[in-house]
Amino acid sequence: MTPVIERAGLDSVMIRLFDTIDVSNMDMLLSVVDTLKAELGEALIDVTPSYTTVLLHYDVYRMDEAAVRGVIQQVLRQPVYGLSGNEARTHVLPVWYDSSVGPELDLLAHRFDGDFQEVITRHQQMAYRVFALGFAPGFGFMGVVDEQLEIPRLATPRKRVPKGSIGIAGRQTAAYPADLPGGWNIIGRTPVALFDRTREGYTLYRTGDVVRFEAVSRQTFLDLGGDATPFAGGDA
């Protein structure tokens, strides 16, 4: 698509770069983000990349909207964006896939004649890009999952999803950084801290990073500090 620049507020604009979600778009999108950071300098307050868009929040006392749009248009006219200067990091998250902590694991296994291992294999065989961070600190929207694991969000979100829960919604997957409400289909749990105030940047990953899931046994999960408390029915 032809990029579109829209006003998103008195001090913000939205850049729509793509029509559809595609992993192959990530390097271009992140390169645009890096270039805009350099070009806008101190006039830039915040920039938030997502699946197909970039949201810019700027300082109206340093630059007006017309000037910001001019910078954006100049950046978008570049014939080749190249790769982002922020090289993607790879994270491997150990996961205990079990119906006691993943209530929708049974549901997905029915697609493969009750074969839980097929669900686990299909989920962990992919390398997922972090498309966006949001909803809660440390919550990364990742994709895309195997099409056979695509499943819509729950009709009624749960009031509480335990910290570390691994979920699928549509063709996205994610890990809950804390006890949170949510409607994703839960298939397992990781012991890894996704948000830590003592960590530089607080969150484990950033937009553009690559995440892989690795199945581990219950004992390994516990040895790594995981909480094996069963997913209670009252959480729904």
Q: Please, what are the domains in the chain?
A: 4-76 (3.30.1360.40), 90-235 (2.40.100.10)
Paired tokens of 6: 């829209």
β-pairing, 4-9 vs 12-16, is antiparallel
Rounded CA separation 227/71 (Å) = 49
Yes or no: say if 96 and 219 are a contact pair by the CB < 8 Å rule.
no
Task: Return the pLDDT at 187.
Answer: 98
Paired tokens of 62: 């340093």
Rounded CA separation 43/63 (Å) = 6
pTM for the full predicted model: 0.80
Yes or no: say if 32 and 76 are a contact pair by the CB < 8 Å rule.
yes
Rounded CA separation 108/22 (Å) = 24
**Nearby residues of 24 by Cβ (< 8 Å), 6 or more positions away:** none
Task: Return the pLDDT at 208.
Answer: 86
CA 76 vs CA 17, 122, 197, 207: distances in Å: 9, 37, 36, 20
For helices 65-76 and 26-40, the axis angle rounded to 10 degrees is 140
Task: Return the pLDDT at 77.
Answer: 84
Task: Return the pLDDT at 85.
Answer: 47
What string of pLDDT tens digits covers the 236 residues of the chain? 688 999 999 999 999 988 887 777 887 888 888 889 889 999 999 888 888 888 999 999 999 999 999 999 999 887 555 545 456 789 999 999 999 999 999 999 999 999 999 999 999 999 999 988 888 889 999 988 999 999 999 999 999 999 999 999 999 999 999 999 999 999 999 999 999 888 777 889 888 899 999 999 999 999 999 999 999 865 55
Residue with tokens 């902590």: 101
The vertex-202 CA angle with 213 and 210, nearest 5°, equals: 30
CA–chain centroid gap for 47, Å, is 16
214: helix, strand or coil: strand
Task: Return the pLDDT at 226.
Answer: 97
Nearest C-alpha neighbor of 64 from the set 43, 49, 34, 46: 43
Task: Return the pLDDT at 86.
Answer: 55
Paired tokens of 198: 């003592």
